[in-house]
Amino acid sequence: MIYHEHFDVIVVGGGHAGTEAALAAARMGMNTLLLTHNMDTLGQMSCNPAIGGIGKGHLVKEIDALGGAMAKAIDKGGIQFRTLNSSKGPAVRATRAQADRVLYKAEIQTILQNQDNLKIFQQSCDDLIVEQDKVKGVVTQMGLRFSAHSVVLTVGTFLGGQIHIGMENFKGGRAGDPPSIALADRLRELPFRVDRLKTGTPPRIDARTVDFSVMQAQPGDTPTPTFSFMGKQSDHPQQIPCYITYTNEKTHDVIRENLHRSPMYAGVIEGIGPRYCPSIEDKIVRFADKDKHQIFVEPEGLTSYELYPNGISTSLPFDVQLHIVQSIKGFENAHICRPGYAIEYDFFDPRDLKQSLETKFINGLFFAGQINGTTGYEEAGAQGLIAGMNAALQIQGKDAWTPRRDQAYTGVLIDDLATLGTKEPYRMFTSRAEYRLLLREDNADLRLTEKGRELGLVDDERWAAFNNKLEVMEQEAQRLKATWIHKDHPAIDQVNALLKTPLTREASLEDLIRRPEINYHDLTGIEGLGSDATNIQALEQVEIQTKYAGYIARQQDEINKQLRHEESLLPKEFDYSQVSGLSNEVVAKLTDARPDTIGQASRISGITPAAISLLLVYLKKQG
């Protein structure tokens, strides 16, 4: 049967990528369908109930700056909020929140259900309709055919999903969900490069069987940070602590004695796992000299007894899992309510994608999320938003847009994927970005909201709040420039008390804030020197922009220089062997990767600055 309605965009999969993709397309006015296995699992967190962290928090803020849902949902569903790296510079500060997974999911579902232009349909997608290299729609498990201009695939870990617990293994998309086998088979018929990856999750523990008194409590920050630029502390539900405990020699002995029963070490699992999020058996092997590993004991929610022991992801057999858990301080009598497991799944080489996340071989077909070799809700959400938005832009007949590396971590993520590909599950770190000082969590809105508004992603309420913030920032910056402290100023003694050496000539508040020993809050806390404005975000922004002005300007200069080459286009069918001086290896790498720009070419591993110069000279000669 053919469904009567034609859609502009169909998004397949209601995980983190699918949610943002569907919402973005719908916000841009596209008639959008979200087709997913199960409406009850929309917004489900497959693994640990937490959002953000180093690098990932930046992505969440960027999604929010472009009008997405993730930050709003975690503000409503977060039960412990922290600012990581709070003692370090603003570039690497990151927000992280423990989530009540039920509240998080409920908020995502509310946002989806209230989005104009968006319909949801529960059914598995088993096939794609492709005619002459153009996607035309999808076919569901019961044979229902939906037609669309564009399709965004966001099917996560479900393609050919195989779950492993010890030597037992069975098909599944994640625990409790079916895999996508028919769709995986269909995609393997298309000309994409496909491979296998794996990820894992720890056993879940019943809190009623845990002795918290022997663990270290870790409360959230006060005041609680918010994720969304539109968020308020009053959005947060009740806050509760996490706990910390450790593995010990006994735990490590149990693991060593049973390594032969690990599907990974016995060679049953072929997919490569996340290096930065290893299983406990991996940690024991790779860091054999360590006598303990930290475990964050994280509540799964306010109304749940389940705990997530972060740090002991495993695919060892259940009896070994039980021994591991009960060897740990505080878990001696623990009951496991869900076994840990590993999952292997298909992913597609993201080098077969354009920067817009449209596939290079099938027009109108976009991939986003774990299907592109990434891991993490935030990485998935950011890609989803860009894919949904670019699907919409294509329909509107407009140029695709993806933020550049100097504009957003989302740009770094997509450029890394599309240019370099990945051999292991890719997660975001601040170290992946070369312009960290500019790509801060706190300025994600300044970097992206205006563009989001132009694209149709940002609603009136956010736009008004953003403009108000800009106004307050401008007023505060002017006030700091215009307020002078001189020897007869009533606050001179208090100001001098903050300085290493007393003022010898007059100085503006702006000058003073740039001094290393001066803190904005201490200075503006002096009576008569504070701002009347109540917009904390705006004041914080002025503080950072003033304090780091020199560094920021230097980084901007570097970007401007780099940009001159970054966007020089390389012809599509370029024959690299024509460029004299390029080694065979470089020619092979460039021919394989087919970069769109000189900037992309320069980031391919093994492509030296000398090779880039040869390319530039050749292109210049060609005119």
SS3 category, 97: strand
**47 part of the interface to ligand FAD, by CB under 6 A:** yes
Among 9, 10, 15, 392, binds ligand FAD (CB under 6 A): 15
Distance between CA 392 and CA 149 in Å, rounded?
Answer: 9
Q: What are the DSSP calls for 272-326, one per residue?
A: BPPTTS--HHHHHHHTTT-S--EEEEEE--TT--EEEEET----S-HHHHHHHHH
**108 part of the interface to ligand FAD, by CB under 6 A:** no
Both tokens of 281, joined, read: 């058996």
Q: How many CB atoms lie within 10 A of CB 238?
A: 7
Among 55, 68, 156, 373, binds ligand FAD (CB under 6 A): 156
If the CB atoms of residues 46 and 390 are measured against ligand FAD, the closer one turns out to be 46
**Cβ(196)–Cβ(271) below 8 Å:** yes
Give the distance from CA 277 to its chain's centroid: 15
Both tokens of 261, joined, read: 């029963």
**365 part of the interface to ligand FAD, by CB under 6 A:** no
User: Rounded to the nearest whole angstrom, what is the least distance from the CB of residue 469 to ligand FAD in the complex?
Assistant: 31
Among 97-105, 169-177, 247-255, 432-440, the segment contacting ligand FAD (CB under 6 A): 169-177
If the CB atoms of residues 239 and 370 are measured against ligand FAD, the closer one turns out to be 370
User: Rounded to the nearest whole angstrom, what is the least distance from the CB of residue 347 to ligand FAD in the complex?
Assistant: 10
Helices (H), 331-437: 377-395, 409-415
User: Rounded to the nearest whole angstrom, what is the least distance from the CB of residue 570 to ligand FAD in the complex?
Assistant: 30
If the CB atoms of residues 27 and 198 are measured against ligand FAD, the closer one turns out to be 198
Among 109, 157, 247, 355, binds ligand FAD (CB under 6 A): 157
**Nearest Cα to Cα of residue 559 among 357, 393, 348, 408:** 408
If the CB atoms of residues 161 and 452 are measured against ligand FAD, the closer one turns out to be 161
**Nearest Cα to Cα of residue 389 among 42, 134, 36, 62:** 62
Phi, then psi, of 6 in degrees rounded to 5: -95, 135
Q: Per the omega criterion (within 30 degrees of 0), is the bond before 223 cis?
A: yes
User: Rounded to the nearest whole angstrom, what is the least distance from the CB of residue 172 to ligand FAD in the complex?
Assistant: 9
**377 part of the interface to ligand FAD, by CB under 6 A:** yes
**160 part of the interface to ligand FAD, by CB under 6 A:** no
Among 8, 13, 101, 389, binds ligand FAD (CB under 6 A): 13
Among 173, 311, 364, 421, binds ligand FAD (CB under 6 A): 173
**41 part of the interface to ligand FAD, by CB under 6 A:** yes
Opening angle at CA 55, ends 50 and 57, nearest 5: 45
Helices (H), 142-248: 181-189
Distances (CA, A) of 123 to 65, 178, 384, 561: 32, 12, 20, 50
User: Rounded to the nearest whole angstrom, what is the least distance from the CB of residue 121 to ligand FAD in the complex?
Assistant: 9
Q: Which of residues 257-296 bind ligand FAD (CB under 6 A)?
A: 277
If the CB atoms of residues 45 and 439 are measured against ligand FAD, the closer one turns out to be 45
**Cβ(195)–Cβ(346) below 8 Å:** yes
Among 94-102, 175-183, 351-359, 389-397, the segment contacting ligand FAD (CB under 6 A): 175-183
Count the residues of the shown chain that bind ligand FAD, applying the rule CB under 6 A: 38
Locus of tokens 């020197």: 529
Q: What is the 3-state secondary structure (H, E, C) of 61-72?
A: HHHHHCCCCHHH
SS3 category, 342: strand
Pairing status of strand 306-310 against strand 204-206: antiparallel
**60 part of the interface to ligand FAD, by CB under 6 A:** no
Among 213-221, 236-244, 372-380, 466-474, the segment contacting ligand FAD (CB under 6 A): 372-380
The secondary element (H helix, E strand) that includes residue 122 is strand 118-122
User: Residue 533: CA atoms inside 13 Å, Cβ hemisphere, count?
Assistant: 23
If the CB atoms of residues 45 and 325 are measured against ligand FAD, the closer one turns out to be 45
If the CB atoms of residues 273 and 599 are measured against ligand FAD, the closer one turns out to be 273
**Nearest Cα to Cα of residue 65 among 24, 12, 9, 118:** 24
Distance between CA 278 and CA 429 in Å, rounded?
Answer: 16
Q: Which of residues 406-435 bind ligand FAD (CB under 6 A)?
A: 427
Among 7, 10, 18, 235, binds ligand FAD (CB under 6 A): 18
If the CB atoms of residues 179 and 299 are measured against ligand FAD, the closer one turns out to be 179
User: Rounded to the nearest whole angstrom, what is the least distance from the CB of residue 175 to ligand FAD in the complex?
Assistant: 7
**52 part of the interface to ligand FAD, by CB under 6 A:** no
Both tokens of 551, joined, read: 């560094």
Q: From the CA atom positions of the chain, what is the Rg in Å? A: 26
**12 part of the interface to ligand FAD, by CB under 6 A:** yes
Among 72, 101, 105, 174, binds ligand FAD (CB under 6 A): 174
Q: Which of residues 198-237 bind ligand FAD (CB under 6 A)?
A: 199-201
Among 144-152, 287-295, 375-383, 434-442, the segment contacting ligand FAD (CB under 6 A): 375-383
Q: Is 265 left (phi over 0), alpha (psi -120 to 50) or beta?
A: alpha
**125 part of the interface to ligand FAD, by CB under 6 A:** yes
**69 part of the interface to ligand FAD, by CB under 6 A:** no
Among 29-37, 79-87, 508-516, 520-528, the segment contacting ligand FAD (CB under 6 A): 29-37
**135 part of the interface to ligand FAD, by CB under 6 A:** no
Among 79-87, 164-172, 370-378, 458-466, the segment contacting ligand FAD (CB under 6 A): 370-378
**Cβ(152)–Cβ(11) below 8 Å:** yes
SS3 category, 251: helix
**380 part of the interface to ligand FAD, by CB under 6 A:** yes
User: Rounded to the nearest whole angstrom, what is the least distance from the CB of residue 192 to ligand FAD in the complex?
Assistant: 16
**Cβ(220)–Cβ(80) below 8 Å:** yes
**Nearest Cα to Cα of residue 21 among 7, 10, 5:** 10
User: Rounded to the nearest whole angstrom, what is the least distance from the CB of residue 153 to ligand FAD in the complex?
Assistant: 9
User: What does the binding site for ligand FAD look like in residue numbers (CB under 6 A)?
Assistant: 12-18, 35-38, 41, 46-47, 124-125, 154-158, 173-174, 177, 180, 183, 199-201, 277, 343, 369-370, 375-377, 380, 427
